[in-house]
Amino acid sequence: MAGKVYLIGAGPGAQDLITVRGARLLAQADIVLHDALVTPEMLALCPQAELIAMGKRSGQRSVAQQIINQHLVDCAGRAALVVRLKGGDPMLFGRADEELRALEEAGIEVEIVPGVTTAVAAAAATRQPLTKRGVARSVAFFTSSTAPEHAELDAIPNTDTLVQYMGGREAIATAERLLAHGRKPDTPVVVIENVSRADQRIHRMDIAALSQGLGMPAGPVLVMIGEAMRARLHQPAD
Q: What are the strands of the beta sheet with 139-142, ordered from one edge?
A: 139-142, 161-165, 221-225, 188-193, 201-206
Task: Write the CB contacts of 203 (distance below 8 Å, at least 6 apart in sequence).
Answer: 190, 191, 192, 193, 214
Q: What are the strands of the beta sheet with 81-86, ordered from one edge?
A: 50-53, 31-34, 81-86, 4-9, 110-113
User: In sequence order, what DSSP letters do the residues of 49-66 get, joined into one string?
Assistant: SEEEE----TTS----HH
- Cα 143–Cα 26–Cα 145 angle in degrees, nearest 5: 10
CA distance linking residue 10 with residue 37, whole number of Å: 9
User: In sequence order, what DSSP letters do the residues of 171-211 get, joined into one string?
Assistant: HHHHHHHHHHTT--TT-EEEEEESTTSTT-EEEEEEHHHHT
Active site residues: 35, 56
